Each structure stands twice: as structure tokens, then as C-alpha cells.
Structure 1
Amino acid sequence: MDWSSLAGIVLALSGILLGQAIEGGKIASLLQPAAFMIVLLGTVGAVLLQTRPQFFLQGVRMLKWVFQPPIDDRERLSRRITNWSIIARKDGVLLLENHMRAEPDPFVKMALRLVIDGTPPEKIRDICNVDINRYESAQRNAVKIWEAAGGYAPTIGILGAVLGLIHVMENLSDPTKLGSGIAVAFVATIYGVGFANLIFLPVANKLKALVQIETSRREMVAEGMVGIANGENHKIVEERLNAYLR
């Protein structure tokens, strides 16, 4: 669990609610279902319009990374690759086959298979880079749904405010309906700006950082496998891998 993410959301929401209470306002006045639906559904609809379904679904699935990010195992992986380079240099790459079968990561397993099959080092680099670029492109396209939501939400909030004011203007003769219409108008703007700056954009930035970590991890694997294929000393391989840990 990433407690900093949870603490950030709690702190941000607490600041708004406490500020509302200190100013003498009622917290209940911020709970406007109509405004919420306008902003949320309008934003989701706009994002869906510009995004391919598979990227949208992947972006939604990635939301759990904000609170339970993938384990950063680069240090342990670096030690494993260094050990593989020792085995390959001493006993030959064919002895890495058992390690490949036990490897749970599909990308690492694929790279190891290339080394065991005697693929030329530059070819290994090219194949790994293609896979890395494909992965990074797909993940960044998925993350963009949160960036897009952060851009659309404030505008949808303004649209909700205009709709609320239209409702007010239509009921000027009925004072009992003026309060709810004005509330929807202003609260929709709060929801739009709040969702964008407290949720959507922070989530996008966090996910981009996590995607960069995984991309760096895969680049480290590719560099290590090229070193093994070149028959380099394990100390040189280790130094190259350590560059990705700094």
C-alpha cells in the first residue's frame, strides 16, 4: 500500500471540507448529485470519445497502481542478471535454461531465451527495444485518459454551472427553486476544478512515474542481456546495471 497517495487524498479533501466549515458553510451544501453527475459523466464521455476502448480500460485498471504500485525489484533483478553473467561466462549460456524456466517475468524470459539461442548482441538489443517501445507507448496512451480527464473536468464544471444558471433563470418566479439551481451552478465548478487538480492530474503524474520505472527496468534487462551475449566480465555487466539504479 502506498500510504502517501492515501494521505494525499485525505489531506486534500480535509483541507476543502475544513475550509468550508471554518468559513461557516455547511459541508452538506457541497453534496449536489446533479452537479456530480454532470461533471463525472460528462468527463468520462469526453475521454471515451477521444480514446480507444482498450487504452481506456487499461487506464482504469492502472488506477490501483496509485495505491498498490508494482514492486520495484530492479536491485534484486540486477543481482540475478549479474549472477547469470557469471554462469554464462564460466559454464556457457546453455546452463541459463533452468533459470529462464524459473523466471516469472515474460520480458526477462524472452530476453534470456534470445541469449540462450545465441542471438547476436545487437539483434537482442533491437528486439528488446521494440518490445520496450511498444510497452511504453501502450502504457502512456492508457495514462493519457487521466490527463485528458484533468483537462476536460474544469470545462465540464463550467458547463454544469451554466446549466444551473439556466435552471435558475427559468424559475425566477418560484423562489423555492432558486437556491438549488444556484447551488448546482457553483458546486459543479468546484467539482470540475477539484476532480481535475486533486484526483485526475495527480493520478496521471503518478502513473507516468511508475511507467517510467518499469521502462527503466526493461532497459536494464536489455543492457544486461547484451552484456551477457557479448561475454563481458560480470563486473562490467554489474556496473552497467548499477547505472539504472542511481
Structure 2
Amino acid sequence: MDMTTIFGLLAGLAALISGFLLEGGQLGGLFKATAALIVFGGTFAAVAVSFPMSRLRMIPKALQFAFTKPQHDAYEMMDEFTKFASITRRHGMLAIEKHVSAHPDDFMREGLMMVMDGTDPALIRQILELEMDVAEQRHEGYAKLFESAGGYAPTMGIIGTVMGLIHVLGNLTDPGTLGPSIAIAFTATLYGVVSANLIYLPIATKINTRSEDEIQHMEFMMHGILAIQAGEPPHVIRKKLDALLLTDDPSVTLMQLKKKAVEHEIQE
């Protein structure tokens, strides 16, 4: 589970509610069932109209993709590629079959299996790039669901507010209730704007970011697979993959990377 996504959502809600309470607002004033029904129910209905059922079934997978932290480690995978390269240069391509057949990454396993089958390098690249395109399109489909919801939610909030004002203006016999009734009506607008800018659109952005990282990782593996097929030496493969590797982890310093590379050379 990616805690940054959950923390961001909770921190945003906490900031909004805290600011409202510090201004003297009442917590109960933020929770109106009718406004929630109009905004969230209307948003879901609009998304359902916009997409076929096959797309709507992807919502759980899209949420899982957004809230789950990737398990792959590029540095461990780079070690695997150099290990496979050493084995194949000494004992032949089929010597890594037992390692490849049990590999947890489908993309890497299928690519190396094609290498062991003697598939043409150009065809392997074509197939792997096609899989990357399919994955990217699937992720775009995930993001579009939430981008659509983020576009509809504010409009549903305005609709809810207008409906509330119609009710208020139709019952002006008691002027004392006019102010609270208008405040309740505007709760729908609040729900629409907050849900769009704190939930739907940020989740869509997280999915797009995750997709970029995933495609980059697949491209990283593709270069390693093709390098093994070409029979490149292990140290050349390591340098090539190290040049492709981009890390966004600030805890991984340049000194740590150099130390890890030196340790690997000593082991070889």
C-alpha cells in the first residue's frame, strides 16, 4: 500500500475541516446526506453514462493501481540481468531456464523465454514494445475514469446548490431560516469541488505517474533482455542499464550507488 496517497487524502481533508472549524463553523454543517446523494450519486451516474460496463469494471483495478506501491526494484533487476549474462556466456542460453521460468515478473519472464526460443531480436523488440503500448493504454483508461469524475463532480455540486436554492426561494414564509437554508444549499457545491480536486483528479494524476514509472521500468527490462540476447558482457550490460536507470528516491545517494557497484565487481 502506498502510504503517501492515503496520507495526502487524509491530510487534505484534515486541513479543510480544521480551517472550517477554526473559522467558527460547526462540524455538523459539513455533513448533509442530501447534498452527498446529489453530488456523489450524480457523478457516478454521469460516469456510468460516459463509459461502457467493461470500462466501469476496471474501477477496482484502477484504485488498486493508484494505491499500491510498485514492488519491483530496478537495482535488484540489474543484478539479475548481469547474473543471467554471466551464466549464458559460460553455459549457454538454456542454462537460465530454471531461473526464468519461476521469475515473478511476467514481462521479463516472457521476454527471456523468447530469447531462449531463438526468436529474432527485431521480433522480440516489436512484441515487447506492443506489450508496453497495451499497458500504457490500459493505464490511460484507468485515469480517464477519474478525470471524467473530476469534471462532472463540480457541475453536480452546482446542480445541487441550484436545487437547494429553488427549495429555499419557494419557502420564504420564515425569513429566520433563510440563512441556514442557503448555507445547506451551498454544501453541495463544496462536496463537488472538494471531491474533484482532492480525490478524483489527484487519483488520476497518481495513475498517470504510476504509468510513466511502469513503462519506464518495462523499457529498462527490454534493454536488458535484448542485451542478453546479443551476448553482451555482464559489465557492459550493467553500465548500459545503469545509464538508463533513473531514481526518484532521495535516500539513494551517489556514494551508495558507487559502493553497490564496487561490491558487485568484487563479487564477480
Taking structure 1 as the reference length, the TM-score comes to 0.92
Aligned residue number for residue 79 of structure 1: 79
**Structure 1 residues 52 and 216: CA distance shift in structure 2, 3 A:** farther
Aligned residue number for residue 265 of structure 2: none
Do the aligned residues in 2 keep the contact of 1:146 with 1:200 (CA within 8 Å)? yes
Q: CA deviation at 1:29?
A: 0.5
Do the aligned residues in 2 keep the contact of 1:86 with 1:234 (CA within 8 Å)? yes
Which amino acid is 1:212 matched to?
A: E
Do the aligned residues in 1 keep the contact of 2:139 with 2:207 (CA within 8 Å)? no
Aligned residue number for residue 194 of structure 1: 194
**Structure 1 residues 2 and 142: CA distance shift in structure 2, 3 A:** closer
Give distance in 1, aligned partners of 2:51 and 2:236: 44
Can you list the C-alpha shifts for 1:18-76, whole angstroms capped at 9, x where unaligned? 11111111110010111111111111121222223333332333323444322132221
**Structure 1 residues 218 and 36: CA distance shift in structure 2, 3 A:** same
Q: CA deviation at 1:239?
A: 2.1
Aligned residue number for residue 49 of structure 2: 49
Within 5 Å, which residues of 2 pair with 1:164-203? 164-173=164-173, 178=178, 181-203=181-203
Moved more, 113-122 or 232-241: 232-241
Give distance in 2, aligned partners of 1:52 and 1:91: 52
Aligned residue number for residue 99 of structure 2: 99
Q: CA deviation at 1:176?
A: 8.0
Do the aligned residues in 2 keep the contact of 1:114 with 1:124 (CA within 8 Å)? yes
**Structure 1 residues 52 and 218: CA distance shift in structure 2, 3 A:** farther
Do the aligned residues in 1 keep the contact of 2:142 with 2:207 (CA within 8 Å)? no
Give distance in 1, aligned partners of 2:93 and 2:184: 68
Can you list the C-alpha shifts for 1:97-151, whole angstroms capped at 9, x where unaligned? 1112111222221101110001111111101001110111012111211111111
Moved more, 171-180 or 34-43: 171-180
Unpaired segments of 5 or more residues in structure 2?
247-268
Moved more, 105-114 or 170-179: 170-179
**Structure 1 residues 142 and 52: CA distance shift in structure 2, 3 A:** farther
Size of the alignment, in residue pairs? 246
Q: CA deviation at 1:172?
A: 2.4
Give distance in 2, aligned partners of 1:134 and 1:29: 46
Give distance in 2, aligned partners of 1:109 and 1:146: 32
Aligned residue number for residue 251 of structure 2: none
Within 5 Å, which residues of 2 pair with 1:1-246? 1-173=1-173, 178=178, 181-246=181-246
Which amino acid is 2:82 matched to?
A: T
Point out which structure has higher relative CO (alpha carbons under 8 A, 6+ apart).
1
Give distance in 2, aligned partners of 1:199 and 1:42: 16
**Structure 1 residues 81 and 53: CA distance shift in structure 2, 3 A:** farther
Unpaired segments of 5 or more residues in structure 1?
none
Do the aligned residues in 2 keep the contact of 1:124 with 1:225 (CA within 8 Å)? no
Can you list the C-alpha shifts for 1:172-225, whole angstroms capped at 9, x where unaligned? 235687566424420000001100111111111112111211111111111111
Give distance in 2, aligned partners of 1:176 and 1:224: 73
Do the aligned residues in 2 keep the contact of 1:39 with 1:191 (CA within 8 Å)? yes
Do the aligned residues in 1 keep the contact of 2:101 with 2:109 (CA within 8 Å)? yes
Give distance in 2, aligned partners of 1:242 and 1:64: 30
SS of alignment partner, residue 243 of structure 1? helix
Which amino acid is 1:59 matched to?
A: I
Give distance in 1, aligned partners of 2:176 and 2:37: 22
SS of alignment partner, residue 245 of structure 2? coil
Give distance in 2, aligned partners of 1:17 and 1:57: 33
Taking structure 2 as the reference length, the TM-score comes to 0.85
What RMSD over aligned residues (CA atoms) do the two structures have, in Å?
1.9
